[in-house]
Amino acid sequence: MKIRKALYILPAFSAVLLVSHLSFAATSARLQVSATILPFVSFNATQHVTTYQVKSEDLKRGYIDLPNAITVHVKTNMNGGVPVIVDNWGEGKVLVKESGTGIFSGSSFTLNTVGFRPNTSISKNYDSRIVLPADAQEGVYPLNITMTPAI
């Protein structure tokens, strides 16, 4: 008689365990998560022109243009653009513009990243204009331009 009773109790106990396990597995919870993604920029500027020659016609004009003087390589997650500051450690003020585009800007510009996927490598060439100081003379001058992302 004890064996028969055990045969009835064992399946009933198994059913209770199975139902209780399923009820624990069926519970759900809502979890709200927030994250802040910080802007990043990987920036490298390669200067192709390291010297420039000033001639009499450059002195009359007041400046000298250097096409494709710099190539910029950038990776970023910033969709609107990367502000860049330009400095010249030599004579004269440096203005830059993207090669093949409109007018020269000042000593800073925004590298346009609109339309590029985040973390995609972007390469752009830039022309330089050296605005000669009033006391400039004919000769060969070193050119040492630095470009720094301003984020």
For residue range 22-35, what is the model confidence (pLDDT) as tens digits? Answer: 555 557 788 898 98
Q: How confident is the model at residue 58 (pLDDT cuts 50, 70, 90)?
A: very high
d(C-alpha 95, C-alpha 107), whole Å? 6
Mean pLDDT, residues 58-69 = 92
For β-strands 93-98 and 63-76, DSSP reports them as unpaired
129-137 mean pLDDT? 90
Domain boundaries, the chain: 41-149
Per the DSSP assignment, residues forming a β-bridge with 98 are: 126
Average pLDDT for the chain: 82
Alpha helices (H) along 26-148: 56-61
Confidence of residue 146 (pLDDT cuts 50, 70, 90): confident
Q: What is d(CA 105, CA 109) in angstroms, rounded to the nearest whole number?
A: 7
Q: Per the structure block, which two tokens stand in for 8?
A: 């009835």
The Cα 143–Cα 51 span in angstroms is: 5
Is 41-149 CATH 2.60.120?
A: yes
Which band of pLDDT confidence, cut at 50, 70 and 90, is reported for residue 107? confident
| pLDDT at residue 100 tops 90 | no
Please give the pLDDT value at position 138: 93
